[in-house]
Chains A and B, each alone.
Chain A
Amino acid sequence: MLPAVLLIAGNLAACQHRPTIAYPKLPEAGRVEAEFDCARLDDAILKTEAVRWVMREDGARLLSPDERFARTTTDVATSVAASFACLFCVSPMWLGEEGHAALDGADRRLLSLLKLKQDQQCAGRPTALAGMADLQMHDAVALRAERMRLLDKLRP
């Protein structure tokens, strides 16, 4: 019992994501974006980056598969406990996934737009990381943890 309480309390304390606005669906770049010229691609990247910035300001972050599993398990456990306590009660302690899905969608859209820009041989734009342009950032993003850190610096 005590480990379960500590797990729940720990996860509650760690929950940092507080959405302040509804997040839109951000699909990966497709046929519409493939027709964009370099200027429109840069514009689309700016817009997507602004939405991603809102998510990060709200505390959204990428979770590892283990972290996502732990949160889902905690949510199920608290819901079951609440159901036993009160037949029609809904658990108020739904942890969710810290905006992972929305942020992951934004990242994938950004990377797909950068890939299109690379394919069209557009000029790179500076980022907040000295010596790294946006097109180089696309190549550098390999690991999930690195991806969040690098894309936080996309805008100079």
Chain B
Amino acid sequence: MSRDRGTWRALLVVLALSACTGHRAVSPVDNGEPTELRLRAGDSIRVVTKQRERMSLRITEIRPTELAGVTVKPAAHEALPKGRDVMVPYADIALVEVRRFSAARTAAGSVLVVLTAAGIALDTMPIMMGP
């Protein structure tokens, strides 16, 4: 019983360690809300504007003509500091990337980790010679 619990704990750790986010990015053709991403309040996004401004933010509100949000820790090439209120008109967006937890990627990552561990275990297992 304790061996089964140990196995389940190990599997949960593997799952947690391999939890993956998926990134989807679009470059909107028109000047309206990028509906293909189904953005909602709470989403973490990265935006590049037509003016080449780059920012990472968490959406607080989806408005008819713009996104409202708060900047988060700036990523590479971003200048806006964390915690600033921003409004990004949809017409200004050249690229928007949304990051969400991906169940498919997490499952695939877990399988990969287990297979790699099994491979290493097989490699290091001592070979038992017959009589």
Chains A and B come from one and the same complex: yes
> Which positions in A face B, CB cutoff 8 Å?
20-26, 32-33, 43-44, 46-48, 50-51, 53-54, 57, 86-90
Is B73 at the interface (CB under 8 A from chain A)? no
Looking at the complex, which one of B46, B50, B123 makes contact with A43 (CB distance below 8 Å)?
Answer: B50
Q: What 0/1 readout, one digit per residue, does chain B (76-108) give for beta carbons within 8 Å of chain A? A: 110000000000000101110100000000000
Which residues does B use to contact A, with CB under 8 Å?
Answer: 23-29, 31, 46, 48-52, 54, 75-77, 91, 93-95, 97, 112, 115-116, 118-120, 122-123
- With a cutoff of 8 Å between Cβ atoms, the chain B residues found around residue A25 in the complex are 26
**Are A87 and B97 in contact (CB-based, < 8 A)?**
no
A46-B50, A51-B94 known; A88 and B116 CB under 8 Å? yes
Bound CA–CA A89/B122 (angstroms): 12
B95 interface neighbour in A32, A54, A87, A88, Cβ under 8 Å? A54
The answer to whether A87 and B77 have CB atoms under 8 Å apart is no
Minimal Cβ-Cβ distance residue in B for A50: B94
Nearest neighbor of B97 in chain A, beta-carbon distance: A22
A87 near B123: Cβ-Cβ < 8 Å:
yes
Are B54 and A54 closer than 8 Å at their CB atoms? yes
**Residue in B28, B48, B77, B119 whose Cβ sees the most chain A Cβ within 10 Å:** B48
CB pairs A–B below 8 angstroms (22 shown): A21-B54, A22-B23, A22-B25, A24-B27, A25-B26, A43-B91, A44-B29, A46-B50, A47-B27, A47-B28, A47-B50, A48-B94, A50-B50, A50-B51, A51-B48, A53-B52, A54-B95, A86-B119, A87-B123, A88-B118, A89-B119, A90-B112
